[in-house]
Structure 1
Amino acid sequence: MNRETVTAHSKNLGKDMSIRVYGESGWPVIAFPIQDAMSDCYEQFGMVDAMKDYIDGGKIQLFVLDSVDAEGWSDRGGDNVLRVKVIEAFYNYVCEEVVPFVHERNSSDLRPLTMGCSLGATHALVAFLRRPDLFQGVIALSGGYDAQFFFGDWMNTTLYFNSPVHFLPNTPHDHPYIDLYNRREIVLCCGQGAWEEEGLRTEHIVDDAFRALGVNAWCDYWGTDVDHDWPWWQKQVQYFLPYVLDEAEKYHAEEVAEAAKNAPAKPVTAKKAAGTKATRTSRTKAAPAKKAEPAVKKAAPAAKAAPAAKVAPAAKAAPAAKTSEKAEPKAAPATKAEPKAAAAKPAPAKKAAPKATSAKPAPAKKAAPAAKAEPAKKPAAAAKPAPAKKAAPAPKAEPAAKPAAKSTAAAKAPAKKAAATKPAAKKTTRTRKSAR
């Protein structure tokens, strides 16, 4: 088994924090230690061995964190405001520093699962409930979810949002997180044996809140012989982990399929319209003219058509700059449309140059040199009123950019549909397995 310890300075906590990494690939799992423990506790108490097959098999990659509980939750004699600041700083550390590190080390964009036992389960559930956009699910074992167990009757806004028994029942039924909760895997488990009283009490409150909100969470209660201790947590993680991974992988597959289905042909068409090296380099001011010339030569061998290519980008460059930088590559296809439109007239005969000049003043062979002189001295708009009308296709290029913006929204919208169609049967069935 690959194991390494990574230590880095946390900007949120202002101190060095260590993360133990087990495994090289698989679904990322962020594990919170028990109260006051450090990143070695999962290995020390046999939890890594309990998940060994999943780690060695490349099904999960485990990231175990250090805690700062001694300065926050456990410091009962300290200043409450300072204690809560440490708790919130740790939460921010997880979201802003640990999650990016996990994505980088895991080499994927998979949303991590969170897990923990005892106070670690409290951290795991709080992180998941507050940021379901960052995490795919949670396995919380024997957690206590009432912050007042550590703070008595004292409460402020920051502590409120670290106390699930307080903020979860007050969550509005139309809150956007409700939909996200139902597209995630939520498992809470507690025994009914020794030292499980607080976990049992608070899990029931959280369970009731989930039911009231219509959230399909699996809150399980094991027997009276199940104590608040490592041997039972090892059995519980072996029991729940396959289910959570299976559901996470299924949902991820649905998500990818939905994104592929709705990642429309519109962005693809937009790329085809723009899709030459000429449009990609059109962000530089000099490049478009160089790339436009070969396109004109392919359409019409007449070398005198090149000035038209120079004039047309000049006319298009100004509008693109006013809209946005990204609009420039989309506007560039208009330069191709113009050479092709110009090529449609010369096509009947090799004497393309005389016909091209016939669109201007009186037909004469000297009219072609005049075309070179006019763009050089006069503004593009004054030089060729006729091509400006032919530039009308350019507005069509802009709509091609807008669908790209809509595509992201479209990609998200189906995700919500997926939530609605995702079967809840498994979780509902398993929810009823309340006794062992």
Structure 2
Amino acid sequence: MQERYIKYYSHHLGADNEILIYGHWGYPVIVFPTTMGRYYEAKDFKLIDAAKGLINDGKVKIYCPDSIDKYSWYAKHLHPSERIQNHIYYDQYLNEELIPAIQRECGVEKVAVAGCSFGGYHAANFAFRHPDKVSHLFTMGAAFDIRSFLNGFYNDQVYFNNPPDYLPNLNDANLWQMNIVLGTCNADFCRPETERLSGILKSKHIDHWLDVRWHGTHDWPIWREMFPEYLSRI
């Protein structure tokens, strides 16, 4: 399986960003790491190995960028307004630097996004904020409400990065074209959050699959089973 490492300076982040890319060809899938995870997390926890067949067959090409959670949502030493601003810089990096590079490299207009746990938040938030850039959204064991990170602080920037708040008011036609899978399992403590988001989508008549077939807890073994099945929908 082809693996490529890239490190480059991001003008929006004002720092170097690192990324691992898997596969020689295929539809691009961005996989976000879990809480404060690094770009190599999906490799270390065998999520990439779970999709090896699809990668080697040239069906998908997987991009694993770094997160900046320790400077945003989990930066408890910063005022909440600074945390949310740092996340906005990350969103700008994705939208204006990483995505255009992937579009050029793969010759596509849209990409797929995926993530487990807090990575699922990142995937969903990016997909709903930029539905013109995203064709597929796959979340596994995710929660989507970030208000608990901000000690009661709330402003427009929080609103526009909290899917349960802004999603009900979106009307971009691309949302109704997106292929969405929300995966969870019977004993996952994030299951209520996933079901809540599904309810919002259902109320807007946005087609999606709420996948609750799995038996297990909030952990990698379940996500490794989900991941290749969801990728096969591309």
TM bucket, shorter chain: over 0.9
Matches within 5 A, 1:93-172: 93-106=93-106, 108-169=107-168, 171=169
Q: Which residue of 2 aligns with 1:236?
A: 226
Instruction: Give the AA of the match of 1:207.
Output: S
State the match for 1:84 in structure 2. 84
- The match for 2:31 is 31
Cα distance in 2 for partners of 1:83, 1:35 equals: 15
In structure 1, how many angstroms separate the alpha carbons of the residues matched to 2:229 and 2:151? Answer: 35
Q: Give the distance between the partners of 1:152 and 1:192, measured in 2 at CA.
A: 30
Deviation at 1:110, TM superposition (A): 4.2
Q: Contact 1:13–1:93 (CA<8 Å) still a contact in 2?
A: yes
By how many angstroms is 1:85 displaced? Answer: 0.7
**TM-score of the pair, normalised by structure 1:** 0.52
- For the 8 Å contact 1:32–1:124, the answer to whether it is kept is yes
SS in 1 for 2:81: helix
Q: CA deviation at 1:242?
A: 1.2
Kindly report structure 1 stretches of 4+ aligned residues shifted beyond 3 Å: none
Q: Which of 178, 182, 194 is equivalent to 1:203?
A: 194
1:62 alignment partner in structure 2: 62
Kept after mapping to 1: 8 A contact 2:141/2:185: yes
- Candidates 189, 200, 212, aligned match of 1:221: 212
Larger-gyration structure (1/2): 1
Q: Deviations over 1:62-118 (max 9, x none)?
A: 100001000111123421111111111111111100101112332x12411000011
- Aligned residue in 1 for 2:18: 18
Q: Answer yes or no: is 1:3 the counterpart of 2:3.
A: yes
Deviation per CA, 1:312-355: give whole Å up to 9, x if none: xxxxxxxxxxxxxxxxxxxxxxxxxxxxxxxxxxxxxxxxxxxx
Cα distance per residue 1:182-207 (max 9 Å; x no partner):
211011111221xx32x222212211
1:183 to 170, 174, 177: 177
Fraction of identical pairs, as percent: 25
Distance 2:143 2:160 in 1: 14
Cα contact 2:167–2:200 (8 A) shared by 1 = yes
Mapped partners of 1:141, 1:152: distance in 2:
26
Q: Deviations over 1:29-67 (max 9, x none)?
A: 011111111111111000110000011000000100001
Contact 2:109 2:133 in 1 (8 A): no
Residues 88 and 202 (structure 1 numbering): CA distance in 2 closer, same or farther, change over 3 Å? Answer: same
Structure 1 gaps of 5+ residues are 246-436
Q: Report the more deviating stretch, 72-81 or 56-65.
A: 72-81
Match of 1:297 in 2: none
Equivalent residues of 2:54, 2:228 under 8 A apart: no
Tell me: CA distance 1:47–1:70, structure 2 relative to 1, closer, same or farther (3 Å): same
Output the CA distance in 2 between the equivalents of 1:50 and 1:160: 35
Q: Which has the higher contact order (CA 8 A, sep 6+)?
A: 2
TM-score by length of 2: 0.96
SS in 1 for 2:74: coil
1:231 Cα deviation (Å)? 0.8
Aligned counterparts of 1:222 and 1:165: Cα–Cα separation in 2 = 23
Distance 2:121 2:32 in 1: 9
How many aligned residue pairs are there?
Answer: 234
Matches within 5 A, 1:312-327: none
Deviations 1:408-427 (A, max 9, x none): xxxxxxxxxxxxxxxxxxxx
CA RMSD across the alignment: 1.3
Q: Give the unaligned 5+ runs of structure 2.
A: none
For 1:239 and 1:15, locate their aligned partners in 2 and report how far apart those are by CA, in whole Å: 35
| C-alpha separation in 2, matches of 1:166 and 1:153 | 15
Higher percent of residues as helix = 1
User: 1-side partners of 2:2 and 2:103: how far apart?
Assistant: 17
Structure 2 counterpart of 1:214, one-letter code: H
SS at match of 2:132: coil
State whether residues 29 and 60 of structure 2, in contact with CA within 8 Å, keep that contact through their aligned partners in structure 1.
yes
Per-residue CA deviations over 1:272-324 (Å, capped at 9, x if unaligned) read xxxxxxxxxxxxxxxxxxxxxxxxxxxxxxxxxxxxxxxxxxxxxxxxxxxxx
